[in-house]
Chains A and B, each alone.
Chain A
Amino acid sequence: EAGVTQSPTHLIKTRGQQATLRCSPISGHTSVYWYQQALGLGLQFLLWYDEGEERNRGNFPPRFSGRQFPNYSSELNVNALELEDSALYLCASSLTGVGANQPQHFGDGTRLSIL
Chain B
Amino acid sequence: SQKIEQNSEALNIQEGKTATLTCNYTNYSPAYLQWYRQDPGRGPVFLLLIRENEKEKRKERLKVTFDTTLKQSLFHITASQPADSATYLCALGGATNKLIFGTGTLLAVQP
Contacts and interface: CB of A to CB of B under 8 A. Distances in A.
Interface of A: 4, 31, 33, 35, 41-45, 48, 50, 55-56, 58, 90, 92, 94, 98-101, 103-109
Contact of B42 (A56, A105, A108): A108
A56 B46 contact: no
Interface string B37-69: 000011111100101000000000000000000
A56 B98 contact: yes
A41 to B, nearest CB: 7
Nearest to A99: B95
Interface of B: 31-32, 34, 36, 41-46, 49, 51, 89, 91, 93-104
Contacts of B98: 45, 48, 56, 58
A90 B97 CA distance: 16
Contacts of A35: 99, 101
Given A33-B99, A99-B95, A99-B96, 15 more contacts: A41-B103, A42-B101, A43-B89, A43-B99, A45-B98, A45-B99, A56-B97, A94-B97, A98-B95, A98-B96, A103-B46, A103-B49, A104-B34, A105-B46, A108-B43
